[in-house]
Amino acid sequence: MSTQTLIYLFVGLSFALYIGIAIWSRAGSTKEFYVAGGGVNPVVNGMATAADWMSAASFISMAGLIAFLGYDASVYLMGWTGGYVLLALLLAPYLRKFGQFTVPDFIGTRYYSKAARVVAVICLIFISFTYIAGQMRGVGIVFSRFLDVSIFWGVIIGMGIVFIYAVLGGMKGITYTQVAQYCVLIFAYMVPAFFLSFMITGNPIPQIGLGSEVNDGSGLYVLQKLDLVLTDLGFAPYTDGSKSMIDVFCITLALMVGTAGLPHVIVRFFTVPKASDARKSAFWALLFIAILYTTAPAVGAFARLNFVDTVNQTAYEDAPAWFGNWEGNDLIAWVDKNQDGVMQYSAGTAFEGTPVFTEERGASGERLLANAPNSENTNEVYVDRDIMVLANPEIGNLPGWVIALVAAGGLAAALSTAAGLLLVISSSVSHDLLKSTFRPDISEKGELLAARLAASAAIVVAGYLGIYPPGWVAEVVAFAFGLAASSLFPAIFMGIFTKSMNKEGAIAGMVSGLFFTFAYIFYFKLANPAANVAENWLLGISPEGIGVVGMVLNFAVAIAVSKMTASPPVEVRKLVDSIRVPRGAASAHVH
């Protein structure tokens, strides 16, 4: 059976499974649509949370970033895993004990204000759409390569699949679909990692293989060889970092607290029966997440080694089949600067901008580019970072069924998170804006219809952002974390841990934090990308890390405004006590 046939088979079977589960578990009430009825087992919820959490950024893009950034990409590993611990310990059990459907529900009730609820919805939609752009881009990349369609049509197909099981099933359908998606994506990630680790080091366990000797007789360890290979080509050593200490600190912290403020992850803890189950869910999710996250550094290192070995100093006419496959999807390119027919891979950009291919072919059969070659360096190869995990099995010449498995896994990762985000957006519109704010008299049937219509509209917007994304998948996702860190996290944190925070302070803090962070990211990434260099950044902090400054601004503004305005009502103070104090503690207290 050909590799392409296997891809169609694996992807088709996985989609049939997801859609079948969605139809079987179709939501029949608003509680099932929003929180899966509130009776999900902690182990099942942990697996679903892990799938929700491990998005296209984790599966597709993170190892690609590690492959090309080396040490600098460690911020993603530290920030995302550390943030999950923060969420499990600080927020999840308390929010579950509060017992509402959504994050704006908590903020609206805790800050006794419809305005606070609306501001929280706006923050949540900003965050979710920024995040979902990365997921739909990931879907487009997978489809474009493995189903041989353009990224545009890849995104359109992905939108259709998500529509079926997110709009029909709601949280109930998504939960059980995500369990299946976790099984697919983790198997798809680990199998090629085992193969590559064994091929390169003789040790099949990638976490150990990363610290082992390369089995080429050189006596060098994997990272030693990678440093040597890259410095020979003019790159910085793989194990050295170029980011400043303050930027590393801020990006890591922004990812951590952004994780703790991500609405689509927080809402998963409302689906379990009780608060203690929320903590158990967090433990299981962290365990399931750790399997992939401890493997990603090895996958990144093996990918970079294999890429250099198979591309550099290779005649284009002898290039492996995978190079032509990805070139056909505009995600890798070669420009023959010295007209010798041999690919030279080294430091620097090969040409100006991202590749724009023409219909013509060069003397060696390569696809010609409209871009002008960059004469300042000898590098002739462009590669999109987001293809590294997907191309890894092909680069390593692994069996066709492994390539097909990775295609199914990449789609599972992107679609599971996209579905969770779409549900958050739809519930914010139907439950928080309509039912709880503007149309309190709406029937349950009307609210469910509104949720499905909102999800449908959100899919269209998400598709557009997937086709025209503002950056690589992991970078786009990092911006979502920065927005979450600067807007929702302080409001949730102060809502749980301080009784003195009032509605005026919370609203002012959320608005100021969100506006500052969004403006900073917009300026450097969209309005004036040429100025996006360290000397122009505030305090040397990049757009990926600026959410920390936005968070500090949020806290400062919220505290200052709350000091100058009226204290919260007594019943709100009692609510905060009831969230934090265990049941029965008051009667057990000795006076």
Q: State pLDDT tens for residues 156-210.
A: 887 887 777 666 655 666 777 778 888 888 888 899 899 999 999 999 999 999 9
- Predicted confidence at residue 586, as pLDDT, reads 41
Q: Which of 442, 444, 456 is nearest to 33 (CA)?
A: 444
Q: 361 - beta bridge partners?
A: 367
pLDDT above 90 (res 582): no
Q: How far apart are CA 78 and CA 62, in angstroms?
A: 12
Residue 100 pLDDT level (bands cut at 50, 70, 90): low
Residue 452 pLDDT level (bands cut at 50, 70, 90): confident
* Residue 389 belongs to a domain: no
Instruction: State the amino acid at position 510 in one-letter form.
Output: M
Q: 383 - beta bridge partners?
A: 332
> What is each CA distance from 110 to 4, 100, 448, in whole angstroms?
54, 11, 25
Instruction: Give the tokens for residue 46.
Output: 């942990």
> What is each CA distance from 591 to 168, 587, 588, in whole angstroms?
54, 10, 9
Q: How far apart are CA 220 and CA 121, in angstroms?
A: 53
What CATH number did the domain enclosing 548 receive? Answer: 1.20.1730.10
pLDDT above 50 (res 541): yes
Q: What is the pLDDT of residues 341-391, one digit of tens each?
A: 899 998 888 888 778 888 888 888 888 888 888 888 889 998 888 788 888
DSSP H or E segment with residue 369: strand 367-369
Instruction: State the amino acid at position 395 in one-letter form.
Output: I
* Residue 383 belongs to a domain: no
Q: How far apart are CA 424 and CA 121, in angstroms?
A: 10
Please say whether the dihedral angle defined by the alpha carbons of residues 10, 11, 16 and 21, taken in this order, is positive or negative. positive
Q: How many CB atoms lie within 10 A of CB 217?
A: 7
535's CB contacts (< 8 A; 6+ apart) are none
- 3-class SS at 334? strand
Q: What is the pLDDT of residues 283-314, one digit of tens each?
A: 888 889 889 889 989 988 998 888 888 888 88
Q: What are phi and psi of 220, to 5 degrees?
A: -90, 145
Instruction: Give the tokens for residue 263.
Output: 């609405």
Q: How far apart are CA 578 and CA 97, in angstroms?
A: 9
- For a pLDDT cut of 90, what percent of the chain falls above it? 12
Instruction: State the amino acid at position 327 in one-letter form.
Output: E
Instruction: Give the tokens for residue 561.
Output: 């405004």
| Side-chain-facing half-sphere of 487: CA atoms under 13 Å | 29
Pick 235 or 36 by higher pLDDT. 235
- For a pLDDT cut of 70, what percent of the chain falls above it? 90
* Residue 243 belongs to a domain: yes
Mark residue 343 as left, alpha or beta (left: phi above 0; alpha: psi -120 to 50; beta: remaining): beta
Q: What is the pLDDT of residues 216-270, one digit of tens each?
A: 888 889 999 988 988 888 888 888 878 888 999 999 998 888 877 666 677 777 7
pLDDT above 60 (res 37): no
Q: How far apart are CA 243 and CA 224, in angstroms?
A: 21
Q: What are phi and psi of 334, to 5 degrees?
A: -135, 130
| 586 CB burial (10 A radius; 0-12, 13-18, 19+) | exposed
- pTM metric for this prediction: 0.78
Range ranked top by mean pLDDT from 187-191, 234-238, 432-436, 476-480 = 187-191
Asked if residue 384 lies in contact with residue 138, where contact means CB atoms within 8 angstroms, the answer is no
492's CB contacts (< 8 A; 6+ apart) are 91, 95, 103, 106, 107, 260, 261, 266
Q: How far apart are CA 388 and CA 152, in angstroms?
A: 20
Asked if residue 410 lies in contact with residue 144, where contact means CB atoms within 8 angstroms, the answer is no
- Predicted confidence at residue 465, as pLDDT, reads 76
Instruction: Give the tokens for residue 100.
Output: 């509402």
What is the 3-class SS of 281-293, one letter each residue? Answer: HHHHHHHHHHHHH
* Residue 35 belongs to a domain: yes
* Residue 186 belongs to a domain: yes
User: Where in the sequence is the domain holding 13, given as residue range(s)?
Assistant: 3-303+397-580
228's CB contacts (< 8 A; 6+ apart) are 220
- Predicted confidence at residue 70, as pLDDT, reads 84
DSSP H or E segment with residue 360: strand 357-361
Q: How far apart are CA 301 and CA 66, in angstroms?
A: 7
Asked if residue 57 lies in contact with residue 292, where contact means CB atoms within 8 angstroms, the answer is no
Pick 335 or 411 by higher pLDDT. 335
- Predicted confidence at residue 590, as pLDDT, reads 39
User: Mean pLDDT score of the chain, rounded to an integer?
Assistant: 81
Least confident of 299-308, 466-475, 544-553: 466-475
Question: ∠ at Cα 555 (280, 118), nearest 5°?
Answer: 75
Instruction: State the amino acid at position 141 in one-letter form.
Output: I
Please say whether the dihedral angle defined by the alpha carbons of residues 238, 379, 466 and 116, taken in this order, is positive or negative. positive
Q: What is the pLDDT of residues 57-94, one digit of tens each?
A: 677 778 888 888 888 888 888 887 888 778 777 777 77
Q: Which of 131, 160, 155 is nearest to 143 (CA)?
A: 155
Asked if residue 91 lies in contact with residue 496, where contact means CB atoms within 8 angstroms, the answer is yes
Within 25-113, residue ranges assigned H as helices are: 30-35, 42-53, 56, 62-69, 74-86, 92-98, 103-110
- Predicted confidence at residue 165, as pLDDT, reads 64
* Residue 323 belongs to a domain: no
- Predicted confidence at residue 513, as pLDDT, reads 93
* Residue 341 belongs to a domain: no
471's CB contacts (< 8 A; 6+ apart) are 479, 525
* Residue 70 belongs to a domain: yes
Q: How many CB atoms lie within 10 A of CB 533?
A: 10
Domain count, the chain: 1
Pick 271 or 34 by higher pLDDT. 271
pLDDT above 50 (res 585): no
Instruction: Give the tokens for residue 106.
Output: 């908590």
- Predicted confidence at residue 34, as pLDDT, reads 52
Within 437-502, residue ranges assigned H as helices are: 444-467, 473-497
Pick 298 or 45 by higher pLDDT. 298
